[in-house]
Every structure is written in C-alpha cells, then in structure tokens.
A and B are shown apart, each in its own frame.
Chain A
Amino acid sequence: MLGNSVLSTLRRVPGALFIGLALTGAALAQQPLKIGFGMSLTGPLAGNGKAALIAMEIWRDDVNAKGGILGRKVEFVYYDDQTSPATVPSIYTKLLDVDKVDLVVSGYGTNVIAPAMPIVMQRNLTFMTLFGLNVNSKFNYDRYFQIMPAGPNPAVGWSQGFFDAAMSMNPKPKTVALVGADAEYPAMALEGAREHAKKTGLKIVYDKTYPPNTVDYSPIVRAIQAANPEVVFVASYPPDSAGMVRAANEVGLKTRIFGGGLVGPQFAALKTQLGPLLNGVVNYEFYVPDVGSRFPFLEQFLAKYQARAVVEKVDPLGFYLPPYAYAMMQVLEQAITATKGLDQAKLAEYIHTNTFDTYVGKVGFAKNGEWAAPRVMMTQYHGITGNDVEQFKKPGRLTVLSPKEYRTGDLKAPYHENKK
C-alpha cells in the first residue's frame, strides 16, 4: 500500500514540477516590464516634459492594449527632475537600485541626459534619449541612441536646410548675419551656421550673441540691419524667438531670408501669440500637417494627444516633441520584441543594425547614436491671419522647403516682401 502510494506520488512529481515551473514562468511573464525615467514636470522645460510624458503614456496604453511586450504589461516609474541636472543622478540610481526598473530612458533635453550618462554607462545599459544635442560626442558610448532627427552631426544638420534654401535664391546671397542667445542650444546652432557660412562662401557681417534675459530686441535687429546682410540666421529659445520676430517686424528688417533656428514657433503658444508676424519667416520644424500624408499613423496619435493636451494644458498641437517621444518608445519596443528579451548588448546591437518603422517614419541610427541622416524640415510661414490655433492644425500655412523628399513649394524671398 505504502509502496504504491510512494510510487504514485513519485509519478506525480515531474508533472507537479512542470506545472510549478509553468506557473512560475507565467507569473514572471505577467510581471510588468518596468521602464524608468526622470522627466521635467516642473521648472523651465515643464511644458515640453509634460507633453513628452503624455506621448509616452499613450504609447504605454497602446502597447498594453495589444497585450504588452513579450507578454508583459508595460509600467512606468518616473520622477520629476525639475529641469535640474543636479537631481538626475539620484533619480536614476533610485530607479535602478530601489525601484529595480528593467530599462531606463532619458528625460527631455541635454541638461538632464548628460548627468544620467555615467550611471547608464557603468551598468552597460542601452539608453534611448529624447532631444539631446550631441551628448555622445564626449562619452562615445555605443549603447546611446537619440531620437531628434538632427543627423550624425547635429550642429551642421540643424541648419543645413536653411542654408540650402538661402543658397537656392537667385542671385546667390553673399552676406550673412548670425545672432543667438548666450545659451546651450543657440551656441551649438551658431557653430553649425558658421560652418555652413564657410562652406558656402558667405561673408559673415554680423556674429553676436545676447543674454537670454534680454527684454528689448529692437537694438539687436537695428544693428543687424546696419550690417545689411542678405541672410539672417537666428538661434533662440522661445522668449527671445518671440522678441526677435516682433523686433524684425517693428524695425521693418529688410533682408532676403530670416529665421532658421528659432525654438518656439513649433509650439501652439508661440504660433498663436505671433500669428501673422510669422509670415515670411523661414524656420525649422519636425512635423507639419502639410506632409501629413507621409506619416499615416501620426494623425491618430495626434488625435489622442490633442484630446489629452487640452485637459492637461500643454501644447495643444503636439507637432514638435510628442511624436518623437512616442517614436523613441517604439524603437525600444521593436528592439525588445525582435531580440526576445532585455539583454542590453543585444538591444544596442539590434538598434544599431536595423531601421525602425515608427510614427515619425523610418528611423535608423548612426554609429554615434544620432539619426543616420538629418531630417530637419525647413519651412516658410505664409497666409497666417489672426491668432487662431485651428489654422495651424490644417495644411496650408507652412511650405516645406527641405528636405527634398518632403518639399511642398519654393522659398519666397525677400523676407520683407512676404509678410502676408
């Protein structure tokens, strides 16, 4: 009797073990996939940080609605970095050591990406980052990837389209003025612009910076006018972008092409604030409705985003950062699915060697982790009337001048004769 009982029990062991292992496996599979990051939810870049967070949450919900990644639901663990680099090391060490996240991605911008680099590098993590400016040039980390489409040399790629447009004018211009704020992004953009000026043989007749807290931009524009340049390249942050555009209108700046690196007009707040003052300005964008047919999935994403943006009081258009925040997560998702796991080396290798279908189009990465080729769209504003945001949601207010494959029209020059 006892023997039979023991035998019967022994017979059940493999089955029980199998069921146990299967259950453990299932439990592991059901454990959420935790992705950690810091994000600027307060401080100067909070508007962009919140918009990026909404986009990432839309991605998370979309992925979870499809059953998650590798059968695991995606969960976010994030903290507010206050747009302050000093908070970043403690946030990322907490995410990795205390919260035990499976993966980390970056917050928004160079200032908060760079302080996280030593931590991710020490742990050999694959690091997807959001809108950093050439951060990897100093670290040379082979598992770093950046989603802003500025190309492998961001300083040059940023203003390539502007100088291409300038040099397409007939007759070719001979002089250029370079102006920008004393800050991180304008310094990089101006450096690239100087390279373009050298390459194209443009004579730099004005090359100056101004303090970021400048209030009156009229003297700057008057000084530029006094130098009489044919091309005016401006690299500025939102408050000074508004100041420079207003001053150009007030002073009646006469030049053939104006703009290039103004940060701010990509967002609804500045678009509506400046309204018709933007007519004639040539400036960069990462997405405009005029090329909407080239990005078939973006419309449904923007519909979701814009509905939430109104409630959460962030950029109601969402053309600039949110699609790329979503795309960053798509790259990660596709890499995890393809490599069937979270092996950081395999993830990095896969991202390096493949291109990804994302809401912002095909994305491939160069050796330094930046986009393999720049895709900064250079556009020209026209036909803006009043300050209504709705006009910017539809095609017809911006002509895409470059890159060639997205071109929707030609540059209208000179600037001062196209302010309508």
Chain B
Amino acid sequence: MSNKIFAAVTIAVALVLAAVTQLIPNEYFFSAAYTVLLFVILATAWNILGGYTGYVNFGSAAFFAIGAYTTVFLYNAFKAPLAVGIVAGTLVAGLAGLGLGYLTLRLRGVFFAIASLALAVVLYIFVVNWDYVGGARGAYVIQPREIPFGLPRYIHLIYAVQLVMAAFALVVARAIEKSTLGRGLAAIRDDELAAECSGVPTLKLKIFSTMASCALMGMAGTTFPYYLSYIEPSSAFSLSYAVNSIAMPLIGGMMSWMGPLIGAVLLGSVQQLVQVTVSSAWNLLIVGVLLVLFVTLAPNGIMGWVDAWRRRKGR
C-alpha cells in the first residue's frame, strides 16, 4: 500500500472512530482511551529514533513536557486555543530535537542515552525556575466552556484530537520506515560505520530522525495540560513516560510501525485495567515482568515473534 493511500485510510479510520465512539455514554472510556492513545504516540515517536535508528532516547519525558509547557505558555500569554498549542508544541519539540541532534548525535550507544537523560534534567530545572509557566508551583489550564462540534464534554474533544494525532504519528512512522530514509536509518542501526562508508549521510539522517521523533513526542504532550487542567514539573517530566515509551516498542516490536502500536495498546490497556481492578502496585510489576519475558523469550517483540512464526509456517 502506498504511503498516500495508507495515510488517507488511517486518518479516515481515525475520524470515523472518533465520531462513532462519541456515542459511548461512559466518560471513563474517553479518559482511559486518551491515556492509551497518548502512549501510542509516545511509543511510535520513540521508535523512530530508538527502533529504526538504534539510538536509545531516555529523555522522552522532556520532549513530552516541552509540548505540554508550550501549550501552557501560549495559554498564559494569549489564551491560545488547543489547535495553536498543538502546532506550536510540535514545532518547538522538533526544534529541541534538532538541538539534541546537533549536540549529541556524535555520541553513540550508552553515551547518547546518558546525554538524552541529562537533557531531560536540564529542561526540568529550567521549567522549575520559569515562573511564567508556573515554575515549581505548577500551572492551571482551564478547559474552555464552549466545546466545538456540539460535543458534550471537553474530554470527548481531546480524545478525538488525540486519536487523529495518533493516526498522524503512525502515518509519519510508516512513511519513514518504507522510504529510502527508513532504509538509511536501518543501515545506521545495523552498522553505522559501514553505512557511512557506503555513502549514507548518517549525521543528516540521524538529525532528521531525532527531529521527527521529538516533534511527535512534543505533539503528544500538547493536549496534556487540557486533560489534567493542572500541570507541574514532576508530573510532566515523570519517568513513567520515558519507561513506557521504551517498554511499549520493546514489547510490540521495534522493526516496524505496528510494533509500538501493538505494544502501547496492549500495555496501556493492561495498565488502565489493572489500575481499577487489582492494584496500582501490580501495575509496575506487570510492566517489569512483561519486559523481562519479552526481552528473554521474544527479543524482537510481538511483531518479531509473529514474523518468525510466519516464516516457519511458510517453509
């Protein structure tokens, strides 16, 4: 399927789903689905750099927070609507990704991972000391009273927006994966030196990959202040976003765009379910056990396991 057709089908499916699910009378569905979709975007975004290119980014929460705090800034400055926040947050996070790329992509392996984590700490301290966006006290973003499209509650709107954004993230991820660019990134992942020797413009590709990945992470964060109405640095920079955005592609499979989607839907839904059934203490245990199981039994994730099964069947 060509990228254009895939994009048209995915966005159309997202729009239809967003419209049809509005009929669900239970508001809990929208809150839970919003969180799962947030993880779909984060996991897909992380996978562009971590899965396709092989550069492990521990700073996902920082880019997520950049998106969130751009929304807060625009809200405080101009009472800017959500759409403006989404566009601006994505661009600002993309620019921050460009900066990260220039500063750190000469580092490889664990050194890049540590640098990305350090960036998250630097941004955290910056936000804590920036009073205009609430600083350490946090900031309030009040949901508007007028909700477009005649939707009953604001959560219905941000769920629908999140659904379309998740579809957009998948389209971008697939387009990168199936393009020459994707093959270049795969070459970098497999052997960067060999790729360089073969004429792959590694630095350019890595910078593009970092920008795209970070921009999508920022996009995921732009609706977050509206979802919570209150945001403060420790929750915006929470380690759980970084951990989940790594764990989800690992469990789903890092080689294709479907892996993070499957991982995020599976793990995100399990987490939502466990939270209101068993106990939250089990939540982290489940993530940990699943990670250990997949890393040892199916290192290429669910998609890798399915591919291997298909190959065996085909023989």
Instruction: List A residues at the B interface (Cβ < 8 Å).
Output: 41-42, 79-82, 84-91, 93-94, 96-98, 110-111, 114-115, 117-119, 122, 135, 138-139, 181-184, 186-188, 209, 211
Contacts and interface: CB of A to CB of B under 8 A. Distances in A.
Interface in B123-139: 125, 128-129, 135-138
Nearest to A43: B280
27 contacts: A41-B280, A79-B275, A80-B275, A80-B279, A84-B240, A85-B228, A85-B232, A86-B238, A89-B31, A89-B228, A90-B32, A90-B35, A90-B272, A91-B276, A98-B28, A111-B230, A111-B232, A114-B140, A117-B229, A119-B27, A122-B154, A138-B140, A181-B136, A184-B232, A187-B135, A211-B125, A211-B128
B204 interface: no
A84 B232 contact: no
Given A115-B229, A183-B136, A184-B137, A139 B142 contact: yes
A387 B229 CA distance: 43
B297 to A, nearest CB: 28
Contacts of A84: 235, 238, 240
Nearest to A115: B228
Contacts of A138: 140, 142
B280 A80 contact: yes
A79 B234 CA distance: 21
Interface residues of B, number: 40
Contact of B31 (A93, A139, A182, A211): A93
Contacts, number: 113
Contacts of B128: 182, 211
Contacts of B30: 93
A79 B228 contact: no
B227 interface: yes
B136 A184 contact: yes
Contact of B283 (A82, A86, A90, A209): A82
A90 B31 contact: yes
B154 A182 contact: no
B153 interface: yes
Nearest to B278: A80
A42 B128 CA distance: 24
B142 to A, nearest CB: 6
A186 B275 contact: no
A390 B31 CA distance: 46
Name the prevailing secondary structure of the B interface residues.
helix
Contacts of B280: 41-42, 79-82, 87
B283 A184 contact: no
Contacts of A117: 229-230
Nearest to A140: B142
Contacts of A118: 142-143, 154, 229
Contacts of A183: 136, 234
Given A41-B279, A80-B279, A114-B230, 9 more contacts: A42-B280, A79-B276, A82-B283, A85-B235, A89-B34, A90-B35, A90-B275, A115-B227, A187-B137
A109 to B, nearest CB: 11
B298 interface: no
B296 interface: no
Contacts of A182: 125, 128-129, 135-136
B120 to A, nearest CB: 14
Contacts of A186: 136
Interface in B145-181: 153-155
Interface in B43-62: none
A138 B137 CA distance: 13
Nearest to A85: B235
Nearest to B139: A138
A118 B230 CA distance: 10
A91 B35 CA distance: 12
A186 B137 CA distance: 8
A188 B26 CA distance: 37
A321 to B, nearest CB: 20
Contact of B26 (A42, A89, A98): A98
Interface in B216-243: 224, 227-232, 234-235, 238, 240
B281 interface: yes
Contacts of B28: 90, 93-94, 97-98
A82 B287 CA distance: 15
Contacts of A114: 138, 140, 228-230
A80 B153 contact: no
Contacts of A88: 228
Nearest to A90: B31
A284 B154 CA distance: 40
Interface in B191-217: none
Nearest to A40: B280
A84 B32 CA distance: 15
> Which of B125, B229, B240 is the most central at the interface, judged by chain A CB atoms within 10 Å of its CB?
B229
A269 B203 CA distance: 53
A194 to B, nearest CB: 13
Nearest to A191: B137
A141 to B, nearest CB: 11
Nearest to B235: A85
